[in-house]
Amino acid sequence: MKYDKKSVEDIDVHGKKVLVRCDFNVPQDETGKITNDKRIVASIPTIRYLLDHHAKVILCSHLGRPKGKFDLKYSLKPVAESLSKILGFTVKLAPDAIGEGAKNLAESLREGEAILLENVRFYPEEEANDPEFAKKLASLADIYVNDAFGTSHRAHASTAGVAAFLPAVCGYLIQKEITVMGSALENPKRPLVAILGGAKVSDKIGVINNLLEKCDTIIIGGGMGYTFLKALGKEIGKSLLEADKLDYARDMVKKASEKGVKFLLPKDSLAADSFAADSPFIATEDENIPADKMGLDIGPKTIEAYRNAIKGAGTVIWNGPMGVFEFDAFSMGTSAIAEAIVNEKGVISIIGGGDSVSAVKKLGYSDRMTHISTGGGASLEFLEGIELPGIACLLDK
């Protein structure tokens, strides 16, 4: 996939109607009140640029999983109200996405104004990437801007389909994602260190395969580490195991050795009696875990080894926690890795979505990382080297 895509700054938007795909899939409480508006705030730089350059802005997004039906529980009305407060003028909500209500509002738009279409997932055609639906959505505008990185791995009508009918460029959010992560993968400041954690090897197969071709060091933690240790003949007790991935794990260790890539596995663990926040635990002497215990975090010897591996790194890509960080007793490994990264001067640090983002934010290190990806599944597929439909459809520079 090409990473050098045209942005809002590379196209004339003056007087044009611009359809902007945002990620307004915000968390809400049982009354519908938005509990965290970070995704809305993150979209503002792109929206303000368009408004300041006299565009007529038509915003669209999904919210929740209405499964192709009009369901007011998933209405974007709270988002329109939030946008209105932030932007300082009323952002009208269309009653639909492609009907007469949307058309009339779009037609009435003046330069420097914005409207919001109702939830695009109220239509089953959206997730099916139906060409006719995409064509109707595109007919509202002159230009398409994708700024929803978190959904860019989905080939939906509003994320990719409309680009068949309109000039398509990226907003600032996507521009930053593909610039920072694209550079890290294609032209990294070396040494390039990848830290991979999380529960399952199966979730990271594509990522490991891709990064083995690019990295100098790969660090393995989390539940997935125990499948690798088992593959190498270690005892892992009741720890998480994907028995059908043992051959793959052995192959990856061998491949890393052949390529001269350092492939680091846990040297010890915090092994608990059960999967519980208050479970009694011990620090094991080595890689082996007693038969009646399960590994829930990396141990002190591993922390020291991983800290040393991070020292001197030029770029660090991190996807997945080192242990069950949600339990305070088993967050030490994840916290130590985060601390090692932020204390490394001059390092480019990229946190690649999902649980690793949650962990870094919970531990208070998010402001000290170079880049925290806004996409979970999208980040993972990006690191796998998979072409993302919502980005591939954009115009190349």
- Whether the pLDDT of residue 353 is over 70: the answer is no
Nearest one of 145, 175, 136, 158 to 5, comparing CA atoms: 175
Catalytic residue (choose from 171, 354, 375, 390): 354
pLDDT tens figures, 366-376: 889 999 888 87
In this predicted structure, what is the pLDDT of residue 374?
Answer: 80
- Whether the pLDDT of residue 354 is over 70: the answer is no
How high does pLDDT run on average in the chain? 95
What is the end-to-end Cα distance of the chain in Å, rounded?
Answer: 13
Which helix (H) or strand (E) covers residue 230, if one does? Answer: helix 224-231
- Whether the pLDDT of residue 163 is over 80: the answer is yes
Is residue 275 within 8 A of residue 324, CB to CB? The reply is yes
> What average pLDDT does range 4-31 have in this prediction?
96
In this predicted structure, what is the pLDDT of residue 275?
Answer: 97
- Whether the pLDDT of residue 169 is over 80: the answer is yes
- Whether the pLDDT of residue 34 is over 70: the answer is yes
pLDDT tens figures, 73-107: 999 999 999 999 999 999 999 999 999 999 999 99
- Whether the pLDDT of residue 171 is over 90: the answer is yes
Q: Is 377 known to be catalytic?
A: yes
Is residue 73 within 8 A of residue 82, CB to CB? The reply is no
- Give the angle 37-38-40 at the CA atoms, nearest 5°: 70
**Per-residue pLDDT band at 359 (split at 50, 70, 90):** confident
**Per-residue pLDDT band at 302 (split at 50, 70, 90):** very high
Cβ-proximal residues to 299 (8 Å cutoff; 6+ apart), any chain: 266, 267, 268, 269, 270, 283, 284, 333
Catalytic residue (choose from 101, 112, 377, 385): 377
User: What does pTM read for this prediction?
Assistant: 0.89
Residues of the chain with CATH 3.40.50.1260: 8-172, 180-384
**Per-residue pLDDT band at 3 (split at 50, 70, 90):** confident
- Whether the pLDDT of residue 21 is over 80: the answer is yes
In this predicted structure, what is the pLDDT of residue 1?
Answer: 67
Catalytic residue (choose from 200, 250, 262, 307): 200
Per CATH, which fold does 180-384 belong to?
Answer: Rossmann fold (3.40.50)
Q: Is 295 known to be catalytic?
A: no
Cβ-proximal residues to 328 (8 Å cutoff; 6+ apart), any chain: 277
Per CATH, which fold does 8-172 belong to?
Answer: Rossmann fold (3.40.50)
Catalytic residue (choose from 5, 16, 17, 39): 39
Range of 178-187, 199-208, 271-280 with top mean pLDDT: 271-280
Number of DSSP helices (H) and strands (E) in the chain, helices first: 14, 15
Which helix (H) or strand (E) covers residue 134, if one does? Answer: helix 131-138
